[in-house]
Amino acid sequence: MQLTRAADYGVRAMVYLAGLPTGRRAGIAELAKAAEVSPVFLTKVLKRLTMAGLMVSYRGAGGGFSLGAPASDISLLDVVEAIEGPVQLNLCTGACATPVAACHRQAWCAVSSVWMHAQAKLREALVQASLDSLARESARRLEAMRSAEF
Amino acid sequence: MQLTRAADYGVRAMVYLAGLPTGRRAGIAELAKAAEVSPVFLTKVLKRLTMAGLMVSYRGAGGGFSLGAPASDISLLDVVEAIEGPVQLNLCTGACATPVAACHRQAWCAVSSVWMHAQAKLREALVQASLDSLARESARRLEAMRSAEF
């Protein structure tokens, strides 16, 4: 039940973009440096984010990447799901799960209800965090750290 | 972030054992049938559960498996962690995670706080469910289903 490295790096890149001044784009080298990952690996991750519409890629001079929507409208859950697919703790807890389609035990299995409850709590925590708030809070903490150093 | 099939089957076997009358043991064939998995696969899963002390294996005539503690004292989290290791959403959210050991960004990264919060919510949901309550609730639902059929 651990986040993939792809999702972790994708989140880093998205939060970095969310912290840039309005209208500023970032190239792959800048994003890879910010996310502390190789540009080759990050390119694959960004492909999923652009396909999901969370990121926009511009070609040519002045090109680069920007967010596909306002940072306040993109949640951590959006980013994770764009990269990993639906956050789903077990086979029986999918959005389309029905007693017939997912697991024939579901109609009576009390554990299935717990997986669903746990999944709802997990999703709730991730949907409440917007890229905007994450970028602002990270910048505030970094600033406080730097101030304390001097 | 999905449960392994091993953990799913392990949970099924443990809940089944929790629903047996006090003192009754179950052999591998009975447990595999209850969990709807092959005895070969389940044997590997049960090894982890016995190593963790959650299950006890008895050899010889009258042998089989029983719970290693009262069903009310074993949580869903206990079972999952015995099979999969600690429920940990990201590298930075481990019990031993420190800014130095886990990720040098942790001191300022706001996303790390969200992973920790989400992980706490997930663990909370799993620790609140005891094998005892899961076995009783499953039996109640199964009984209600059967009554409705006739």
- DSSP letters along B53-78, please? TSEEEE-STT-EEEESS-GGG-BHHH
Exposed (0-12), middle (13-18) or buried (19+): which is B95, by Cβ within 10 Å?
Answer: exposed
Exposed (0-12), middle (13-18) or buried (19+): which is B79, by Cβ within 10 Å?
Answer: buried
Q: Could you report the per-residue pLDDT of A32-44, keeping only the tens digit for each? A: 999 999 999 999 9
ipTM: 0.93
CA B23/CA A106 separation, integer angstroms: 28
Reported as half-sphere exposure (CB side, CA atoms, 13 A), residue A76 has a value of 23
Q: How many CB pairs under 8 A join A and B?
A: 109
Query: Which candidate, A83, A84, A43, places its Cα nearest to that of A65?
Result: A43
The reported pLDDT for the residue numbered B99 is 47
CA A103/CA A89 separation, integer angstroms: 14
Q: Could you report the per-residue pLDDT of B122-134, keeping only the tens digit for each? A: 999 999 999 999 9
The reported pLDDT for the residue numbered A99 is 47
Residues in chain B within 8 Å Cβ distance of A121: 118, 121-122, 124-125
Name the residue with higher pLDDT: A132 or B149: A132
With left for phi above 0 and alpha for psi between -120 and 50, is residue A29 left, alpha or beta? alpha
Interface list for chain A against chain B, based on CB atoms closer than 8 Å: 1-3, 8, 11-12, 15, 36, 76, 80, 84, 87-91, 105, 107-111, 113-115, 117-118, 121-122, 124-126, 129, 133-135, 137-138, 141-142, 145
